[in-house]
Structure 1
Amino acid sequence: MLQTGGDIDSSEALTERQQAVLDAALRLLVEDGDSLTMAAVARRASCSKETLYKWFGDRDGLLTATVQWQASKVRVAPVDRKGLDLASLTASLERFASDWLRVISSDTSIALNRVAVGHAGSGKDDLGAIVLQNGRFALARRLKPVLEAGREAGLLDFADAETAFRTFFGLVARDVQIRLLLGDRLQLTEATVGGDAARATQQFLALYGSKTGGANNRPQGL
């Protein structure tokens, strides 16, 4: 069985066949929303229910792995904690921001989040908690070490990594996700995503860039 309690940080945690099954589950969520079943996923993915139960345990396990698979598309570029400079920190933050904007604006994420919101407090399953734990909270666990490395290198100045992460998340997301969930047909082109990611990163560095790190540690043009 897959270990679905932790983060899926890369496709290396899954075989190609398992990735195909999770992609099938995501497509069904877009098409059918709340009515996703193990049998429907098995039919769409051309595999047996026994295989799904072997890999994922049960429906909640499948949903958890599906959310993790979607969240794994938001990459965190590794940084050299010893030789970290402003350019590499900026690149890591911009990559995270652009990936996250692409993911939340995809049809699959919009559908997944709509179902999760509909389930929150309904007593059905724990999809809302699954999305929180394996989506937003997992992304925080991945990015906070980068922020802390930036603080250790004298590039960032903050007292609490969670607060710094929430600020960055807010600068990246703005009102995009809620508008998409409510049906606004925002057109996020590659140029728009790249520009928004760069802008959010520069705004974050303006807020949290170290005041004592020297001129080379300050974002340019701010």
Structure 2
Amino acid sequence: MREDTKTRRQAEIETAAYELLKERGYRSTSMLDIAKAAKASNETLYRWYGDKNGLFKTMVESNARATKAELNTAIADDVDPLETLGHVAPILLSMLLGDKAISLNRAAAADESGELGATIAAAGRDSIFPLIEKLVGRGLETAALAAPSASVAAEWFLSLLIGDLQIRRVNRTLPEPPDEDIRARATAAMRAFRRLCGA
């Protein structure tokens, strides 16, 4: 199978998985259900993803890919940490408050096994937080930032950026914010972070 065809088919499978996740929840969605909804073979799903946990892990990773790419590029290119955080903030917030992340988190909240929540944490926060921490750590090393530690400063950054917005989206008390609201929140968070951690 050509790579572009495989990529297209994977996108169709993930779209079907999101739809079933919304309708049935994580526990009641099987690989066979997803395969049928995507008009794919069950064997293909198992060959590409390993199991249901592998499929949802891939979905979380796909959703976080743009944020991780920006952070990895900034780390590799030795770009100013505050400039990079300002650039990444709206991308990260948009991803976290978007329908895909919210669908995954709603399903995880209803999954008593904790399996989906653990998958989201491993493929999402646990892979992005160290990159933010590394970037902030560089700011501390160059004295561009001042904080008790890179870990604490990274936590402050995320708290200022996200606050309770994702929880409010998950429990349906906040609609998906428009792009201008995302940008305004990111700008305000960066302003506060600069005041808190600026050297």
User: Which residue is equivalent to 1:102?
Assistant: 94
**Structure 2 unmatched runs, 5+:** 1-5
1:117 to 90, 109, 129: 109
Contact 2:137 2:150 in 1 (8 A): yes
Q: Tell me if 1:199 matches 2:188.
A: yes
Q: Is it true that 1:41 corresponds to 2:34 in the alignment?
A: yes
Report the equivalent of 2:3: none
1:172 aligned counterpart, secondary structure: helix
Which of 152, 173, 183 is equivalent to 2:172?
Answer: 183
Contact 1:151/1:158 (8 A) holds in 2 = yes
Q: Normalised by the size of structure 1, how large is the TM-score?
A: 0.76
2:74 pairs with 79, 82, 85, which one?
79
Indicate how the Cα distance of structure 1 residues 128 and 183 shifts in structure 2: closer, same or farther if over 3 A, else same: same
Following superposition, the deviation at residue 42 of structure 1 comes to 1.0
Q: CA deviation at 1:155?
A: 0.8
3-state DSSP of counterpart to 1:54: helix
Specify which structure has the higher proportion of helix: 2
* Contact 2:22–2:103, Cα closer than 8 Å, also in 1: yes
Q: Which residue of 2 aligns with 1:7?
A: none
Q: Secondary structure at the match of 1:15?
A: helix
The corresponding residue for 2:197 is 208
Hey, what's the Cα distance between the residues in 1 that align with 2:76 and 2:101?
Answer: 32
Give the aligned length. Answer: 192
* Residues 163/15 of structure 1: CA separation in 2 closer, same or farther (3 Å cut): same
Instruction: Choose from 46, 52, 61 the match for 1:53.
Output: 46
Over 3 Å counting, the alpha-carbon distance change for 1:19 and 1:149 in structure 2 is: farther
1:98-120 per-position Cα deviation (integer Å, ceiling 9, x unaligned): 1222122222221210111222x
Gaps of at least 5 residues in structure 1 are 1-13, 211-222
**1:156 partner SS:** coil
Supply the RMSD in Å over aligned alpha carbons.
2.4
